[in-house]
Amino acid sequence: MLLVIDVGNSNTVIGIYDGVELLTHWRLISKGRTADEIGVYLLNLLATVSIKPDEIKGAILSSVVPPLDAVIREGVQNYLGIDCMRVSSDMDLGIEIRYSSPSEVGADRLVNAVAGVKKHGTPLIIVDFGTAITLDIISPDGAYLGGTISPGLVTGMEALFGKTAKLPQVSLEAPSTVIGNNTIGSIQAGIMYGNAGLVDFLVTKTWDELDQKGKVIATGGHADKIAALSRTIDLVDPWITLEGLRMIFCRNCPDPETMPGLEN
């Protein structure tokens, strides 16, 4: 079995693959922990689904929080006895990176691109709703070009409330109309419809620059809610990042015979 870990600024998503099947997954809060805490968390999570530690034969990590990288890898090594692979632009990813400085691209964005090309073809736009809203653009010939980075829904909402003492906290739900007739409805309309409009504008501008339309895939914590309001998002792929980690591990596995059933 393969352990895949995606560390974001807000959440860490962990999955277990048996061959090409995602058996189970967990979403945790990303925060500073010791290697021992990481190891104990992993053992407890595996125990909840009756997976023995020695059944895990490989591990791979993508992270946008560098201080956690060494801690997680140490925890995996000490408690599972596995060297945890870490995604970087220097690896064999199977796609060309045309970013001016490939090392600056977030590992999660590269992982999404790898899985996106394999699963959905090209040209492709991947919209990831996390702490930031990112658009990643894949060219018609399958190269990673770059994209955009905007504040995420929660990030924008926290900034709004942090600067306005009288506004109430609201849930991230879209009201039935964009014209809010009360404060809560007005805030919800601005955040939900506003971010859907942001994505649609960036997508159409990208299509103009590519001189070609392509599929638009959404992922991340709020993908479903914004996709329901968007005019350009084609479908939601919630596990594209975990799938990309599995694919990259397959391409870079030092001993493929220890991981039967894995496929690119």
Q: How far is CA 172 from CA 177, 191, 208, 229, in A?
A: 14, 8, 31, 13
Q: What angle, 0 to 180 degrees and rounded to 10, lies between the N-to-C axes of helices 183-210 and 153-163? A: 130
Contact (CB, 8 A) for 38 and 67 = no
- What is the number of residues in the chain? 264
* Spatial CA neighbour of 76 closest among 119, 27, 37: 37
Q: How far apart are CA 164 and CA 158, in angstroms?
A: 10
* Annotation says 108 is catalytic: yes
Joined tokens for residue 22: 């995602």
Element (H, E) at 240: helix 240-252
Out of 6, 108, 128, 136, pick the active-site residue. Answer: 108
Contact (CB, 8 A) for 2 and 16 = yes
Torsion sign, CA atoms 239, 222, 150, 194: positive
Q: What angle, 0 to 180 degrees and rounded to 10, lies between the N-to-C axes of helices 240-252 and 107-120? A: 90
Contact (CB, 8 A) for 207 and 137 = no
Q: Which residues are catalytic?
A: 108
